[in-house]
């Protein structure tokens, strides 16, 4: 075996090694991209479901207003909750279902960033709106079920108040945890996509 044969063998081994390294890099890149797509898609779907639920809650308030139509006072209170939920729906109207798999890395990076900013801006309003809606529905439900004898239904009023307060506490702390988790996961996705974008252009 002469020098040229050794060089050819070495060159062939190096080519095979480079091919394996390239294959592994592409595999890792695809796995990281899939992870970012999956994470973003999950949180986007949660937000879209929340947006649609705001409309359902508004309809529930409108139904309660219809049942209380004889009392302008209670109709006015319940209408505040309905208006808050309609505002929430409009506030989240920029959120749209995306074909995430068809987006380029840079386009996906932009969408993740936009979504994270939107979520951070609306989080405080969302919690406040839920609290307002719960309070107004609680008052309206009490008025509807009390049959006009409000002073004779103190126990029922206390029960409804405790139920609404418990519901709000669970929703508040649950939402705080969810929003924090969303922000952290989206930041992680942004970093992954930024690295992939650099890798793609290098």
pLDDT, tens digit, for every residue of 10-28? Answer: 667 666 666 565 555 566 5
d(CA 20, CA 22): 5
| Cα 175 to Cα 88: distance, rounded to the nearest angstrom | 15
d(CA 5, CA 200): 36
Give 64-98 pLDDT, tens digit per residue. Answer: 999 988 888 889 999 999 999 999 999 998 888 88
CA distance 68 to 109: 49
Q: Which helix (H) or strand (E) holds 158?
A: helix 154-201
For 29-47, the pLDDT digits (tens) are 666 667 777 778 888 888 8
Which residues does 122 contact at the CB level (< 8 Å), separation at least 6?
91, 92
């Amino acid at each position: 075996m002469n020098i040229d044969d050794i060089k050819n063998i070495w060159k062939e081994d190096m080519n095979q090694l480079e091919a394996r390294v390239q294959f592994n890099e592409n595999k890792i890149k695809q796995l990281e991209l899939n992870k970012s797509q999956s994470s973003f898609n999950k949180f986007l779907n949660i937000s879209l479901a929340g947006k649609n639920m705001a409309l359902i809650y508004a309809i529930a308030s409108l139904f309660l207003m219809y049942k209380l139509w004889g009392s302008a006072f209670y109709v006015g209170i319940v209408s505040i909750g309905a208006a808050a939920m309609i505002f929430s729906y409009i506030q989240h109207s920029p959120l749209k279902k995306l074909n995430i798999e068809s987006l380029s890395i840079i386009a996906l990076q932009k969408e993740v960033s936009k979504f994270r900013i939107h979520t951070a801006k609306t989080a405080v309003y969302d919690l406040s709106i839920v609290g307002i809606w719960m309070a107004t529905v609680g008052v309206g439900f009490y008025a509807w079920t009390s049959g006009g004898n409000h002073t004779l239904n103190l126990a029922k009023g206390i029960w409804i108040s405790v139920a609404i307060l418990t519901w709000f506490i669970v929703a508040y702390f649950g939402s705080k945890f969810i929003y924090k988790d969303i922000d952290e996961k989206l930041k992680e996705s942004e970093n992954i996509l930024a690295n992939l974008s650099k890798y793609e252009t290098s």
